[in-house]
Structure 1
Amino acid sequence: MALVLTEMTQQIGTLTMNNPQKRNCLSHALIEDFFAALDTFERSKMRVIILRASAGSKVWSAGHDVHELPRPGRDPLPYNSPFEQLLRRVQDYPDPVIAMIEGGVWGGACDLVLTCDIVIGCETATFAMTPAKIGIPYNPSGMIHFINVLGLNKAKEMFFTAAPMNASEALNLGILNHLVESDKLESFTRGLAEKIVGNSPLAIRALKEEFRLLSKGHPMDAETYEKIGAIRRCVYDSKDYCEGILAFHEKRRPQFKGE
């Protein structure tokens, strides 16, 4: 079974995640198919990309495949990991990428959604940033995505509580550009994509690159960067990290001790 399905019509490429048995978790295999699809879309000169799950999905994506996280003592989200490469590929894709959301978006999948250029969801869309439930220290580039969209305090709440945010709150906070009824989700998303296709491709590409560069206007000194690395190492070297991963595999609530 293909983990990703693709369609190309009227210069719009649609990528559908197709692994419902694993809740479309962002496994290395699915990410590899994701890359192949984006490469095909770019070669075929698709002007807009739509990312989606299958119609009626209760979970858009469960985020990282926890089974593929590295053993304790290694950074679970290094710069060269497949997931981080995927985020950069979506961010750097030359044309607009629209996330069409139906169902729950968990963990790293929230980061993927925020990396997209436009996000459209229906009333079943929810967003939960869950690394604290497993004991994973998230990486600085990902946290900046959340701060840029939600603001500092709301980003803190989302990470600290790991509680799901409903579609209405996501709209109010700017995660969703549009909240539409589920039976109109596909037609609305398609209509917005067609509006983009009708505009100047050179101007759209230039605008996307400008937005990408301007959004990176947050300089960080070397000492602060090194300090963040040390803070994260304390977590992924910890007993709590081992307990979080073990509890996930054993399908029980972790017993964190702060050690």
Structure 2
Amino acid sequence: MEETKTKKDIYYEVNNEIATIYFNRPQKRNALTYEIWKEIPEIINECDSNPNVKVIIFQSIDEKAFSAGADISEFKTHRYTAESAAHYNEQTMIAEKAIMNASKPTIAMIQGFCVGGGCEIAVACDFRFSDEKGKFGITPARLGLVYNTPGTKNVVDLVGPAKAKDILYTGRLLNAEEAINIGLIDRIFSSENIQEETKSYARTICDNAQFAVRGSKRIVNEVLEGATEDSDETARLILDSFVSEDYQEGVNAFLDKRKANFKYS
């Protein structure tokens, strides 16, 4: 089943249980406008509530840039005063949190530049896969700005405080090799294979029990927020998994030495 939305500056398609969200401003290296930031939570909510979607992928419409960051041309309209900047920043954090809090796994498939707001989106995802030409940076220090707390926490969670400070203090660009060495990204694929490899990885997730996948994501997120023991809700989640049809199917498939056919979506 395939679903396609109008091809605006950001749009998405659903195919084979995978939603692909495309940045579609190639002439601007997918610079992020205020309207794009506004649309991200709406798209995430649509994908999250769609039973035909099991994994969400962010990518560019072309190979040159995942996103080169915020559209600087908007800074004198949307971010020039404290009041307008607060409004703009609130919207970027709403978008960022929508990605972080999506119940379904998210992957940033990165080709070329992944800078500023583009990197902010990527680090909010569960996984970051890059081609060998990936370039990564978070550059508010070059503009005299201070990076927001949720975005900073995501970077610290990935690379640790010292390397996060290096990235933020210098605003320098990291190549894909350095990015994977410090834990900023998870995989490097060739430009020729990254589409196929990313979809194959997403397919592996789709084929697993979705109750377990989403439960695991929820618990990992709670651990990142400081949890060290099960809450009442996560304890119930774990117990519910033992009485689910998918658990019975998983056990029977294992004993029968066949591929499981999970039903939960």
Query: Equivalences for 1:140-179 in 2 at 5 Å?
Result: 140-179=149-188
Structure 1 position 20 matched with structure 2 position 29: no
Q: What is the rounded CA distance, in whole Å, between the counterparts of 1:207 and 1:62 in structure 2?
A: 32
Aligned length: 217
Q: Which runs of 5+ in 1 are unaligned?
A: 219-259
**Equivalent in 17, 30, 40 of residue 36 of structure 2:** 30
Largest Rg, 1 or 2: 2
Match of 1:109 among 95, 118, 122: 118
Is there any run of 5+ residues in structure 2 with no aligned partner, and where? Answer: 1-6, 228-265
Q: Which runs of 4+ in 1 moved over 6 A?
A: none
CA distance in 1, matches of 2:187, 2:49: 29
Identity %: 28
**Corresponding position of 1:123:** 132
Residues 1:100 and 2:106 are matched in the alignment: no
Contact between 1:26 and 1:83, CA under 8 Å: does it hold in 2? no
- Residue 51 of structure 1: which of 40, 50, 58 is its match? 58
Q: Match of 1:249?
A: none
Using CA pairs under 8 Å that are at least 6 residues apart, name the structure with larger relative contact order, 1 or 2.
Answer: 1
The Cα of 1:77 is off from its aligned counterpart by 5.5
Instruction: Report the secondary structure of 1:183's partner residue.
Output: coil
- 2:32 aligned counterpart, secondary structure: coil
Letter in 2 for 1:186: Q
Distance 1:108 1:130 in 2: 9
Which whole-Å deviations, capped at 9, do the CAs of 1:82-131 have from their partners, x for residues lacking one? 11100110011111000000011111221211110011110111101110
TM-score relative to the length of structure 1 = 0.78
Partner SS for 2:31: coil
Deviations 1:115-163 (A, max 9, x none): 1001111011110111011100112222111111111111111111111
Q: Deviations over 1:150-207 (max 9, x none)?
A: 1111111111111100000111111211101110000000000000001111111111
What amino acid does structure 2 have at the position aligned with 1:201? Q
Which residue of structure 2 aligns with residue 199 of structure 1? Answer: 208
Aligned residue type for 2:61: S
